[in-house]
Amino acid sequence: MAETSAPSSPIAGLILAGGQGRRMGGDKALRLLGGTPLVGHAIARATPQVGPLAISANGSAPFADFGLPILADSVPGFVGPLAGILAGMDWAAEQGLTSIASFPCDAPLFPRDLVARLAEARRREGAVLACARSGGRRHPVFALWPTEMRAALRVALTDDGIRRVADWCARYPVAMVDFPTAPFDPFFNVNTPSDLAEAETLLAAHRSA
């Protein structure tokens, strides 16, 4: 994979771990993969790519040992990842940062140059957002967001009933960044026990990818 330089200014990072994980029987973020919780894999991949890093969750106890800020949704009712992204935007703005990158906790092999490539594409195209894509499929939760969007996102969640990340992104110019799917799709995500077993195989074969 070609090297891409880190963004010139710090970008906050947000691990999305607030899902209820029904298909995994709950606590998906803490399921072990290669002896490490899924959220631990996300933290390890995200940390070198961003400045301050936080976890979006709706309860701090399961994640306290990771030593990161735990952000609860400010919009009640488990309305989905956009609520977590909003909480992340508010937190990043408090740190004086103008952008935040989001990473779902259930994709343990996402690219190590993800944030640098998103930042470069957004700059090059003059877009508001940048989002990952692989195999022709968009991954809108792997994205780079300006924190100045947070007021508009709050209105979209509370007044407009927007819930899907893709529906929110459709309102804005988005720079798409393509990643190869060979030898594996780096955005493979774990939703079921069988996915977790497949992830074990991928991790064993591509741990250094």
Domain boundaries, the chain: 12-206
Which residue positions in the chain have pLDDT lower than 50? 1-6
Decide: 13 and 99 in contact? Cβ < 8 Å. no
Per-residue buried b or exposed e for 89-115, using 16+ beta carbons within 10 Å of the residue's own CB:
bbbbbeeebebbbbbbbbbbbbbbbbb
Class of domain 12-206: alpha beta
Token pair, residue 74, equals 């400010």
Cα 191 to Cα 1: distance, rounded to the nearest angstrom = 27
The reported pLDDT for the residue numbered 2 is 40
Token pair, residue 181, equals 């799917």
pLDDT in tens, 126-167: 999 999 999 999 999 999 999 999 999 999 999 999 999 999
Q: Which of 92, 106, 96, 99 is nearest to 130 (CA)?
A: 99
Q: Within 13 Å, how many C-alpha atoms sit on residue 1's CB side? A: 20
Whole-model pTM: value is 0.91
pLDDT in tens, 116-132: 999 999 999 999 999 99
Cα 200 to Cα 154: distance, rounded to the nearest angstrom = 38
Under DSSP, is residue 177 helix (H, G, I), strand (E, B) or coil?
Answer: strand
Mention every residue, 6+ apart, whose C-beta is less than 8 A from residue 117. 4, 111, 177
The reported pLDDT for the residue numbered 23 is 54
